[in-house]
Structure 1
Amino acid sequence: MFRGDGVVRTLPFPEAPPWRRFTAAPAGTGGGGPAPYLIGPAEADVVNAALHLRRPLLVTGHPGTGKSSLAHAVAAELTLGRVLHWPVNSRSTLHDALYRYDAIGRLREANLRRDRDGAEPGIGSYIRLGPLGTALVPRDRPRVLLVDELDKGDVDLPNDLLTVFEEGEFEIPELSRLPEDEERVEVVTADPGERVPVTRGRVRCGEFPVVVITSNGERDFPPAFLRRCVRLELPEPDEERLRDIVRAHLGDGALADTDDLLRAFLARRTPGELATDQLLNAVFLRKGGVDLDADGLLDAVLHRLGGAV
């Protein structure tokens, strides 16, 4: 396709890998449903323990072992709807994950309506529940909440989560202070177009959500936090599991004439240095007719993740 010679061409784009298709179909599919998520029976038992105990599942492992994908697999297999995603960074706070109140937006709208002799805007339209707050909305079936890379957050964030995880509820002070004739207010959630009623400013779950917390092991968590989690360490997939993963994503014939790629991946892999999706990328390119033996191309696809670039 691209030749780098400055000549303009109009060419059809090749089909994207199944895990890079952004259509109405779920991510990681070819249009017929999610690709299987493969873990061993021992790891599946740990997941089930967390489900039965209604405890957060703390998932650790090297990059590319499928930590984040586990949350989507649980939601898909148990038909629990769209995964609520909270990507944690150094600026993340518990308050933002629970809800946000746009006081400035409400004041601006109130001034505009006052100039037009209109009614004051309701407060509910200016309160939006975050991913954690939405997960705690009472429902018949629990939602799945992915707390991604908690170890990148502030050192106090795990302790901040303890009370919410233990009590399964939180308060919105802006609503609890309203007069009695406004005790029930509809607020916006993290789900597009959804509004839910909140009474006296308190949100309390009916079923504790399925909470999947991922960590890259960059920092230790407090014992009090660890005590309230079920811990799962995802191992690097062995050769047999790698073959199963390639087959699940790219079909039964995907492994034909790709043994050399599998051997190259295993030879280059040291803990944390390569991710499974890099092998999938290499196999997909080979099956599409790309010559991976060209200068530097295989190195570009199977580049190591740790150390200097």
Structure 2
Amino acid sequence: MSIIDPRTGNPLTAEPAPNTHTPTDSERPTVTREEVIIELNAGNIQQVLEASMQVPVLLDCWAPWCEPCKNLMPVLEKLAVEYGGAFLLATLDVEANPEIAGQLGVRSVPDVKLVSQGGLVDSFQGALPEKEVREWLNRYFPAPGDAPPSPEEQAEEALSAGDAAGAREIYQTLIGQYPEHYAYQIGLAKALVAEGRGDEARSVLDNLPPEERDAAPARGVRASIEFSEQALSTEEIAALGDRTDSEAQYQRALRQVADGQYDAGLEALLALMKQDRAYNDDAARKTLLQVFDALGADHPLTVTYRRKLFALLY
């Protein structure tokens, strides 16, 4: 499909020949910002709507006084270029163009609308983080194969690689941009726990709204803080030597969990349940449930070991 520039009426890309293969990412022509982004106004709105008959148009309705709009616009501009002309991005200043905003039914900003064939396909309101914008776009457009990792993915990768300080810095930046996206604050708390700053992590969680503070993700981080605080130090674990009593087994398992060695820790806790269910008022089972909370209900280890726990109990 040829992409038409609504400013000139000229095609931005050539019409593909019939019966040709879909180009790969390396074969797709690169586009510049100027080719895929246009400022919408009364003078070109008709051309933009006509252009949507050839290529989808993403309308970003914003206002100069809107801070969330200022956070969202660079994300949309980046993605418009990254998606290589799969859609045009048209930005509309609703204050400068109130009549157009009224015709489009804009009641609050930011308001993003996907228009194709002259009609509304979908929309979202509010400044979604980059990861969520990508997920929304991917409902309608193939994701670029060479897309760089989103900030959220970079933070997760840093945390997995043991770079807790790097993850913390990314989450702090994201929180500054999206203060009401509470998943970032929970991510920050995770990074703080990994840095050994449990008190600061607990403070972050305590400042969440009640419905977020009591939900599974936040409970999981609290459980991680408790594991770190309860577990013996590496030196103390070494001092246990060859002890095989229930207390020694439990402390080794707790240290493994605190260090993120969940598979080994869960297996050790399950073994302790089989051997000494009564140990410390059923501590092994209770800790298993805490680990499930920390990992989340959908985590593969939670699914596997919850099934094993059920088989052991019943």
Fold shared by both chains (TM-score > 0.5): no
Higher strand proportion = 1
Q: Which structure would you say has the larger Rg? A: 2
TM-score by length of 1: 0.25
Considering fraction of residues, name the structure with more helix: 2
